[in-house]
Amino acid sequence: METEVLARIQFAFTVAFHYIYPPLSIGLGLLMVIFESIYLRTRNPEYHALAKFWTKIFALTFGIGVVTGIVMEFEFGTNWAVYSRYVGDVFGSALAAEGIFAFALESGFLGVLLFGWNRVKPWVHLVATVGVFLGSMFSAIWIVVANSWQQTPAGFHIVGEGLQARAEITDFWAMVFNPSSVDRLLHVWLGAFLAGAFLVLSVHAYYLLKGRFMQISQKAFKIALVVATIFSLGQLLTGHHSADGVAKNQPAKLAALEGHFEASAPADMYLLGWVDKDKQTVTGIKVPGGLSYLLEYDTEVPVTGLNAFPEDERPPQVNAVFQFYHIMVAIGMALILLTLLACYQWGRGRLFQKRWLLWAFVFAVLLPQIANQAGWFAAEMGRQPWVVYGLLRTSDAFSQSVTENQILFSLILFFLVYALLLVLFLYLLHKKIHHGPYDEEPGEGRPRTREIAEMLTKN
Amino acid sequence: METFLGIDYPTWWFLVVGALFSGYAILDGFDFGAGAWHLFFKKEKSRRIALNAVGPVWDGNEVWLVIGGGALFAGFPVMYATFFSSLYIPFMLFLVFIIFRAVAIEFRSKEPMVWWRKTWDTTYSISSIMLAFLLGVVLGNVLQGIQIGPDYQYAGSGFFEFLNPYALLTGATTLSLFMMHGAIFLLLKTEGQLYDKIQSLLRRGMVFFMVSFGITTLYTLLYIPHLSDDFQQEPLLFVIPLLTFLSIANVPRLATRKKFRLAFLFSSLTISFLLVLVAVELYPVLLRSSLNPAYDITVYNAASSTKSLKIMMVIVAIGAPLVAGYTLFVYRTFRGKVKLDETSY
């Protein structure tokens, strides 16, 4: 028992930390491609400066993403041996495809993206930028496919019994397009775009507030705002689709998301609340029949509740699942409001006069991050007690031969190393942001075209 | 069992994984090796040049580790599960040093303070040394066999079981091999005083390698007889150690004539041949049980289904030329001696 808990804590900690970075890389990748493409079309040096500046920050997120990602790959083997044996045949091909198609593409072109500004033609450089961006998108495909297979297994059969039992692939495409993978992939991609766009918004809003890099920041802010608005709204669609899928494929999880206990009754939707698992009650603000309505467009339709499942097949942490899910949804709504508000002000031509709005954007950078994390916690804790839904229990899946002391040792080690990593990341991020897209003259509040031109002719 | 070109699918996948590990060892081998020498360079500029020699490629090189690990997981899930959970501590240390090394490379140039750069230089070098050493330690444990019990479960105990004399020897040998390999790589990337300095370091590196390789070979022949069984039964296989020795002998020969491109080719071949040697000695066993041969993990009892292996062969057939293509593109873009510019580390 103790080993299982430690193994879960270690996995949750390392994967949650890892997941700060890949969404930023994917999202920044998109904006870098946009900036660099505009530069190639217009030859306006400001966009070149933007592309270079964000590439530097991208390098930081990408580097940490890679090393913390390697940890994830090996942790399946070190801490989840039974799981690895069980899923290897199915899951392995997705992981191999990730390595060979996605990760190699990313890392192969990364050298050119970071160090090739002066070595290759501008269009070749853009190809490298697009390559890295696509690579990071592909990475997400294979990882989400693998995880979705754990949520909604398909295209396999079970061979063997007991410790020797394992899933074997019967249909590769059925495995890849298992019932939840497309919805969840879109949801993950959009979450990543939002993480990147809101970082760009935050940094340039800060410059605008401080009166630095004004022209360039206005341009960057508008582009990122368009991206953020489109995808905040898009997230409503992908989120809705995902929830529909959960209702069909993982009814116990859906019931946990809204704290719905009665085996078969119309289900409410909570704006916020607190679940008491023992008393089977939820205290909070609700829309009666809201969940039923969202699923079937009828507030009276019964929804399968937690009590319809045997005790040992219900997610044990209902309140946590409920809270994580509601945090994610609330943030999603907040992002839509914020971006629409900004667009409205833009339409009135007052976007950059509203200082409070810019300040809101400075801090809004944390929101997509929290939502991404909360969403994954809801998805993974909602799947419990299964590691592969309906097939393999988490309590059977960990490495039996690894001892508590070993995990404690590695957990403490990871904790220290990641704490250091986070401090360094924030420090260097701050430093890069403080320095900005190009060198300013002391006391100079506005960029000078000559200076930008000089910087570019040096290349 | 289904075959393709007369070879069964688990064996094909064994060859694929072997090729990936060999590619990984050659590529990350030279940048670990280069890192291991780092503290021998005293001047700031020398250190920057040495670091930037691996700057654009180290990340791509580590991709091979990710792909190799993925290939092992996909093709031999049983091996993947037992291998990593049995050698828990060395792999966890490996991961931690991978992180430290990446951090050191990324962060060293970000501040000008002497203490900052010294700290990261030391971190970079020690991590590089430890990574090369740990790879060797893991290899030593694989060669020797570990305590695998029934149901592919590790039956050993103790935190430090992985640190046995043979593993220490293979660790040192791997480190010395990578240092030799890395020094030759640096010679391709440097000029002037630094180039001269690395030449003299390479001489030391070669001696270090010859000595540790000699001791390890002797120890293997004397104390680990199961590793030379195959060769006694099949004398034709002696071609492989012979080629290995020829390739090793070529490295100092070419190095003294300053033909470093060719020397690099032969140090790469040496790494490959040594791994082929390991593969021949082990096959069809992947992980030997020191308790009972019945518990051995072999390519057959560890393999995924034929269906799965076929899918992955298709993935490899499509993916491998792509990876080779952009690897070549990157190495071409950054060919020649290191020139520091404002994008350098």
ipTM of the complex: 0.82
φ, ψ (nearest 5 deg) of residue A161: -135, 160
In this complex, which of A63, A112, A421 lies closest to B333 when CB atoms are compared?
A: A112
Q: State pLDDT tens for residues B103-114.
A: 888 888 888 888
φ, ψ (nearest 5 deg) of residue B155: -110, 0
Q: Where do we find the tokens 């508000």?
A: A341
Instruction: Return the residue of A nearest to B156 by Cα.
Output: A401
Q: Quote the pTM value.
A: 0.87
* Residue A364 near residue A195 (C-beta atoms within 8 A): no
What pLDDT does residue A457 have? Answer: 55
In this complex, which of A69, A96, A413 lies closest to B74 when CB atoms are compared?
A: A96
Give, in order, the Cα–Cα distances in Å from A130 to each of A26, A59, A105: 11, 15, 10
Residue A202 belongs to what H/E stretch? helix A181-210
Cα distance between residue B182 and residue B176, in whole Å: 10
Kindly state whether A340 is in contact with chain B, defined as any CB-CB distance less than 8 angstroms: no
- Minimal CA separation from B208 to chain A, in Å: 31
Radius of gyration in angstroms for the set of CA atoms belonging to chain B, rounded to a whole number: 20
Give, in order, the Cα–Cα distances in Å from A29 to each of A193, A194, A417, B163, B221: 9, 12, 26, 43, 54
Kindly state whether B73 is in contact with chain A, defined as any CB-CB distance less than 8 angstroms: yes
Q: State pLDDT tens for residues B14-53.
A: 998 999 899 899 999 999 999 999 999 888 888 888 888 8
* Percent of chain B surpassing pLDDT 90: 34
Judged by CB atoms closer than 8 Å, whether chains meet at B304 and A400 is answered as: no
Q: Which residue has the higher pLDDT, B210 or B319?
A: B210
Q: State pLDDT tens for residues B272-307.
A: 999 998 888 888 888 888 888 888 889 898 888 888
Instruction: Return the residue of A nearest to B100 by Cα.
Output: A417
Give, in order, the Cα–Cα distances in Å from A369 to each of A226, A231, A375, A418, B289: 19, 15, 10, 17, 46
Chain B residues within 8 A of A170 when measuring between CB atoms: 307
φ, ψ (nearest 5 deg) of residue A20: -65, -35
Kindly state whether B334 is in contact with chain A, defined as any CB-CB distance less than 8 angstroms: yes
In this complex, which of A105, A115, A131 lies closest to B55 when CB atoms are compared?
A: A115
Cα distance between residue A372 and residue A331, in whole Å: 10
Q: Which two tokens stand for residue A244?
A: 């529909």
Kindly state whether B96 is in contact with chain A, defined as any CB-CB distance less than 8 angstroms: yes
Kindly state whether A393 is in contact with chain B, defined as any CB-CB distance less than 8 angstroms: no
Helices (H), A250-311: 251-258, 290-296
**Chain A (305-334) residues lying within 8 Å, Cβ to Cβ, of chain B:** none
* Percent of chain B surpassing pLDDT 70: 99
Cα distance between residue A371 and residue A369, in whole Å: 5
Judged by CB atoms closer than 8 Å, whether chains meet at B326 and A431 is answered as: no
Helices (H), A20-171: 21-42, 45-79, 81-97, 104-115, 122-151
Amino acid at B260: F
Each of the 459 residues of chain A gets a pLDDT tens digit; together they read 588 889 999 999 999 999 999 999 999 999 999 999 999 999 888 999 999 999 999 988 988 888 898 898 899 989 998 888 888 888 877 777 777 778 777 777 887 888 888 888 888 899 989 999 998 898 899 889 989 999 999 888 888 877 778 888 888 888 889 999 999 999 999 999 999 999 999 999 999 998 888 889 999 999 999 999 999 999 999 999 898 889 888 888 888 888 888 877 788 888 888 888 888 888 888 888 888 888 888 888 888 888 888 888 888 888 999 999 999 999 999 999 999 999 999 998 888 888 899 999 999 999 999 999 999 999 999 998 899 988 888 888 888 888 888 888 899 999 999 999 999 899 889 988 988 888 765 444 444 555 555 555 554
**Chain B (240-299) residues lying within 8 Å, Cβ to Cβ, of chain A:** none
Confidence of residue B183 (pLDDT cuts 50, 70, 90): very high
Kindly state whether B9 is in contact with chain A, defined as any CB-CB distance less than 8 angstroms: no
Interface test with A, best of B9, B331, B343, B345 (most A CBs within 10 A): B343
Chain A residues within 8 A of B80 when measuring between CB atoms: 76-77, 84, 88
In this complex, which of B67, B77, B85 lies closest to A89 when CB atoms are compared?
A: B77
Cα distance between residue A357 and residue B140, in whole Å: 61
Cα distance between residue A147 and residue A86, in whole Å: 14
Judged by CB atoms closer than 8 Å, whether chains meet at A99 and B70 is answered as: yes
Interface test with A, best of B24, B54, B58, B330 (most A CBs within 10 A): B330
Domains held by chain B: number: 1
Q: Is residue B72 one of the residues assigned to a domain? A: yes
Kindly state whether B69 is in contact with chain A, defined as any CB-CB distance less than 8 angstroms: yes
Helix pair angle (A2-18, A366-383), 10° resolution: 150
Judged by CB atoms closer than 8 Å, whether chains meet at B307 and A169 is answered as: yes
In this complex, which of A108, A405, A417 lies closest to B330 when CB atoms are compared?
A: A108
What pLDDT does residue A447 have? Answer: 47
Helices (H), chain B: 9-36, 44-54, 58-75, 77-86, 88-108, 114-144, 165-189, 192-223, 229-233, 239-256, 260-282, 299-302, 306-333
Chain B residues within 8 A of A61 when measuring between CB atoms: none
Chain A residues within 8 A of B65 when measuring between CB atoms: 70
Amino acid at B242: L
Select from A275, A382, A269, A284 the least CA-distant residue to A329: A269
Kindly state whether A100 is in contact with chain B, defined as any CB-CB distance less than 8 angstroms: yes
Judged by CB atoms closer than 8 Å, whether chains meet at A111 and B56 is answered as: yes
Q: Is residue B240 one of the residues assigned to a domain? A: yes
Give the single-character DSSP code of B289. Answer: B
Residue B310, domain extent: 3-333
Q: 3-state class of B340 per DSSP?
A: coil
Q: Is residue B75 one of the residues assigned to a domain? A: yes
Q: Tell me what the pLDDT averaged over chain B comes to.
A: 87
Kindly state whether A118 is in contact with chain B, defined as any CB-CB distance less than 8 angstroms: yes
The full set of domain ranges for chain A reads 1-76+406-459, 80-172, 179-402
Judged by CB atoms closer than 8 Å, whether chains meet at B60 and A108 is answered as: yes
* Residue B121 near residue B38 (C-beta atoms within 8 A): yes
Interface test with A, best of B48, B297, B326 (most A CBs within 10 A): B326
Residue B130 pLDDT > 70: yes
- Minimal CA separation from B77 to chain A, in Å: 5
What pLDDT does residue A449 have? Answer: 52
What pLDDT does residue A454 have? Answer: 56
Q: Is residue B344 one of the residues assigned to a domain? A: no
Chain B residues within 8 A of A401 when measuring between CB atoms: 85-86, 153-155
Chain B residues within 8 A of A405 when measuring between CB atoms: 159
Judged by CB atoms closer than 8 Å, whether chains meet at B88 and A406 is answered as: yes
Cα distance between residue A233 and residue B285, in whole Å: 55
In this complex, which of A79, A103, A402 lies closest to B66 when CB atoms are compared?
A: A103
Residue B56 pLDDT > 80: no
- Minimal CA separation from A93 to chain B, in Å: 5
Judged by CB atoms closer than 8 Å, whether chains meet at B307 and A131 is answered as: no
Helices (H), A250-302: 251-258, 290-296
Cα-Cα-Cα-Cα torsion B117, B118, B124, B125, nearest 10 degrees, comes to 150
Residue B228 pLDDT > 80: no
Chain A residues within 8 A of B106 when measuring between CB atoms: 59-60, 63
